């Protein structure tokens, strides 16, 4: 009896073990053949941490290799939510230290993930305070943060990038492919408690971005911005722009706008202050546009400098419109017409030329076309074809009405007078180089076409030198140098299509020294008041900037082209002269 009972128990235990063994065998076969990939992936996810290694964004230098934008080390906060034991306490501490929203932190820390960003590129003081809390499950990854050492300087040239170092505006955007570099990767082992063991199983190093070298000179940029800012505030203007260019190479030495913004705090600004007015704001230029009419008249042999025109004592009827001069004039020579900026005298010259020739020279000087400057957002402006002219257009277009231009177009046009008659494309970036200074790409000056002959350019140069010496541009002359240029005062167009009696654009374009130009410049103010004339608002800025810039260039002996032959290959110039 006892043996039989014991034998039954033995068989029961035996079959139980056989069943368990069969179950485990089947489970093992199932895991091995059907779930191996899934479980291996889960193990890898738990124990292997893939980290992206961000590249260092390229530096932007001025022409003398002074940094305009660079990178500083920064630390970004991440979390491993399952490892944080007291989440409410961690959330309260992080709110006080980082200023992050409570709902944001609760949502993030309740996720069932092994890695999640909480805050990017924190100040070092905040990083140190979080580290001292010693919260298990929080960690930092070292990144780089874009920094602009000169703050507001050249803001509308440089632009800015976002928290992930992606270019958003201006050069940071246009040349992002060169600046951004390429990310690297590494895989770090972690233990069962998600602690990093720092054992790199694989590693692909990041490729840092290339550097940009600009034509901008930080000192010249500072001089230009200082004087523009002072005049902008003095004359209570809505906006202002200044561009300084080498007339032979097209290198932009300085470009600034007002209002402006701090590159390091761009999120606190509005689109109005970030807009690059110098290339994307179109306006009627007024009398600065008379250089086009004057060049056409001399080039077509329709007038000479000493031909006389009766300026009707300040009133002249063109079709059904009465044209006025700001100061009544009687008989003036053609030279004096431009020097004194007579609208009536200029219109009479234009009537000798006709619409087709005026239009031809507008296009030759680049109006109505993109300059193709290497900054985003440039507009073409507006030039009306002769077929669309009204009966009064012959008294409007030649004096800078019924035409839309930009500041960059004006400085390019006056450069053609300064350099002997060539249209030279303006540009900002001179070269792209790697971290060792090795040249990756070079951007050379480009002369696109011949606008007028050297003789005509010389004669126009003489006339607009007189405009500074004896005419409306007297306040544009620097104390130590001669200057050539033209003032402009243009009524703004109201929404109903009429010309405003209270809102104006005031401008001055010119170059210095008059006999041997080293820089060309355009200065434009939008709605200055109470004074609104180009000769009293823009011309003094030109004089102050030109004086200081020329003295700086003379003292430093900058390697800037001083003739058209210095800047361009002989064969290119020879072809254009044919």
The three-class DSSP label of residue 324 is: strand
**What are the pLDDT digits (tens) for 158-199?**
999 888 888 999 999 999 999 998 888 766 655 555 554 454
Contact in structure between 319 and 392 (CB atoms under 8 Å): yes
Mean pLDDT, rounded, for 47-62: 78
Residue among 564, 292, 559, 558 nearest 446 (CA): 564
Give the Cα separation of 282 and 325 in Å (integer): 24
The three-class DSSP label of residue 548 is: helix
In this prediction, residue 139 carries a pLDDT of 80
Mean pLDDT, rounded, for 487-499: 89
Domain ranges in the chain with CATH number 3.40.710.10: 218-577
pLDDT band at 202 (very low <50, low <70, confident <90, very high): low
Residue among 342, 361, 352 nearest 303 (CA): 352
Q: Residues 6 or more apart from 59 whose CB is under 8 A from it?
A: 67, 69, 70, 71, 211, 212
- Please report which helix (H) or strand (E) contains residue 59, including its range: none
In this prediction, residue 48 carries a pLDDT of 59
Contact in structure between 151 and 257 (CB atoms under 8 Å): no
The domain 218-577 belongs to what CATH superfamily?
Answer: DD-peptidase/beta-lactamase superfamily (3.40.710.10)
Query: Which residue has tokens 């032979």?
Result: 248
In this prediction, residue 117 carries a pLDDT of 81
Percent of the chain with pLDDT over 90: 62
CB atoms within 10 A of CB 215: 26
CATH for the 51-214 domain, from 3.90.1310.10, 2.40.30.30, 3.90.226.10, 3.90.1210.10: 3.90.1310.10
Domain ranges in the chain with CATH number 3.90.1310.10: 51-214
Handedness of CA 548, 552, 555, 557 (dihedral sign): negative
- Please report which helix (H) or strand (E) contains residue 383, including its range: none
372 dihedral zone (left: phi>0; alpha: psi -120 to 50; beta): left
- Considering only residues 339 and 72, tell me which one the structure prediction assigns the higher pLDDT: 339
Instruction: Return phi, psi of residue 333, to 5°.
Output: -75, 165
Contact in structure between 61 and 154 (CB atoms under 8 Å): no
Cβ-in-10-Å burial (0-12, 13-18, 19+) of 307 comes to middle
Give the Cα separation of 447 and 444 in Å (integer): 10
- Considering only residues 162 and 473, tell me which one the structure prediction assigns the higher pLDDT: 473
543 DSSP assignment:
H
In this prediction, residue 197 carries a pLDDT of 45
Give the Cα separation of 431 and 420 in Å (integer): 27
The upper half-sphere exposure of residue 141, i.e. CA atoms within 13 Å in the direction of its Cβ, equals 19
The upper half-sphere exposure of residue 363, i.e. CA atoms within 13 Å in the direction of its Cβ, equals 8
**What are the pLDDT digits (tens) for 73-87?**
888 888 888 778 888
Q: Residues 6 or more apart from 345 whose CB is under 8 A from it?
A: 309, 311, 329, 332, 334, 336, 337
400 dihedral zone (left: phi>0; alpha: psi -120 to 50; beta): left
Q: Please give the mean pLDDT across all residues of the chain.
A: 88
Give the Cα separation of 215 and 154 in Å (integer): 12
Find the range with the poorest average confidence among 154-163, 200-209, 271-280: 200-209
In this prediction, residue 6 carries a pLDDT of 62
Percent of the chain with pLDDT over 70: 92
Give the Cα separation of 185 and 540 in Å (integer): 56
Query: Which residue has tokens 């590129």?
Result: 121
**What are the pLDDT digits (tens) for 226-270?**
999 999 999 999 999 999 999 999 999 999 999 999 999 888 888
Mean pLDDT, rounded, for 393-411: 96
- Considering only residues 485 and 500, tell me which one the structure prediction assigns the higher pLDDT: 485
pLDDT band at 45 (very low <50, low <70, confident <90, very high): low
Instruction: Please state the three-class secondary structure of 518-536 as a single string.
Output: CEEEEEEEECCCCCCCHHH
Residue among 485, 471, 479 nearest 538 (CA): 485
pTM: 0.85
**pLDDT over threshold 90, residue 200:** no
**What are the pLDDT digits (tens) for 259-277?**
999 999 888 888 889 999 9
Cβ-in-10-Å burial (0-12, 13-18, 19+) of 309 comes to buried
Handedness of CA 176, 177, 181, 183 (dihedral sign): positive
**What are the pLDDT digits (tens) for 338-374?**
999 999 999 999 999 999 999 999 999 999 999 999 9
> 484-493 and 499-512 as β-strands: parallel, antiparallel, unpaired?
antiparallel
**What are the pLDDT digits (tens) for 504-546?**
999 999 999 999 999 999 999 999 999 999 999 999 999 999 9
């Amino acid at each position: 009896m006892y043996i039989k009972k014991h034998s039954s128990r033995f068989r029961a235990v035996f079959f139980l073990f056989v069943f368990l063994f069969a179950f485990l065998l089947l489970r093992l076969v199932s895991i091995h053949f059907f779930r191996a990939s899934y479980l291996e992936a889960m193990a890898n996810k738990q124990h292997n941490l893939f980290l992206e290694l961000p590249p260092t964004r390229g530096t932007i230098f001025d022409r003398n290799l002074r940094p305009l934008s660079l990178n500083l080390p920064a630390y970004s906060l991440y979390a491993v939510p399952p490892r944080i034991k007291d989440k409410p306490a961690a959330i309260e501490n992080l709110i006080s230290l980082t200023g992050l929203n409570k709902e944001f932190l609760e949502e993030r820390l309740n996720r069932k993930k092994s890695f999640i960003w909480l805050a990017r590129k924190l100040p070092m003081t905040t990083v140190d305070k979080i580290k001292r809390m010693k919260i298990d499950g929080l960690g930092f990854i070292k990144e780089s943060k874009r920094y602009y050492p000169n703050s507001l300087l050249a803001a509308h040239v440089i632009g800015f990038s976002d928290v992930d170092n992606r270019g958003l505006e201006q050069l940071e955007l246009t040349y992002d492919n060169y600046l951004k570099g390429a990310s690297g990767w590494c895989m770090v082992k972690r233990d069962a408690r998600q602690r990093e063991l720092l054992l790199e199983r694989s590693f692909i190093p990041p490729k840092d971005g290339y550097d940009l070298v600009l034509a901008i000179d930080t000192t010249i940029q500072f001089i230009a911005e200082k004087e523009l800012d002072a005049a902008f505030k003095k004359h209570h203007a809505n906006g202002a722009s200044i561009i300084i260019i080498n007339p032979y190479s097209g290198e932009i030495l300085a470009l600034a706008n007002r209002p402006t913004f701090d590159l390091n705090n761009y999120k606190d600004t509005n689109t109005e202050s970030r807009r690059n007015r110098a290339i994307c704001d179109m306006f009627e230029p007024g009398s600065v546009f008379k250089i086009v009419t004057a060049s056409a008249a001399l080039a077509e042999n329709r007038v000479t400098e000493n031909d006389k025109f009766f300026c009707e004592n300040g009133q002249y009827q063109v079709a059904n419109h009465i044209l006025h001069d700001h100061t009544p004039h009687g008989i003036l020579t053609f030279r004096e017409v431009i020097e004194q900026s007579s609208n009536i005298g200029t219109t009479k010259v234009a009537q000798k030329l006709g619409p087709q020739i005026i239009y031809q020279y507008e296009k030759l000087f680049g109006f109505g076309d993109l300059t193709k400057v290497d900054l985003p957002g440039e507009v073409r402006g507006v030039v009306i074809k002769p077929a669309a002219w009204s009966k009064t257009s012959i008294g409007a277009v030649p004096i800078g009405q019924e035409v839309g231009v930009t500041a960059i177009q004006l400085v390019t046009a006056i450069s053609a007078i300064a350099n002997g008659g060539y249209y030279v494309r303006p540009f900002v970036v001179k070269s792209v180089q790697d971290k060792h200074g090795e040249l990756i790409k070079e951007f050379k000056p480009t002369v696109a076409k011949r606008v007028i002959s050297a003789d005509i350019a010389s004669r126009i140069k003489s006339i607009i030198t007189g405009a500074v010496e004896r005419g409306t541009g007297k306040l544009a002359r620097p104390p130590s140098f001669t200057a050539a240029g033209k003032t402009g005062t243009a009524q703004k167009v109201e929404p109903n299509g009429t010309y405003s009696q209270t809102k104006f654009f005031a401008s001055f374009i010119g170059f210095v020294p008059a006999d041997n130009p080293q820089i060309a410049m355009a200065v434009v103010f939008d709605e200055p008041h109470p004074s609104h004339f180009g000769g009293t608002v823009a011309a003094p800025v030109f004089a102050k900037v030109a004086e200081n810039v020329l003295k700086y260039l003379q003292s430093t002996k900058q390697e800037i082209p001083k003739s058209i032959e210095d800047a361009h290959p002989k064969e290119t110039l020879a072809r254009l002269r044919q």
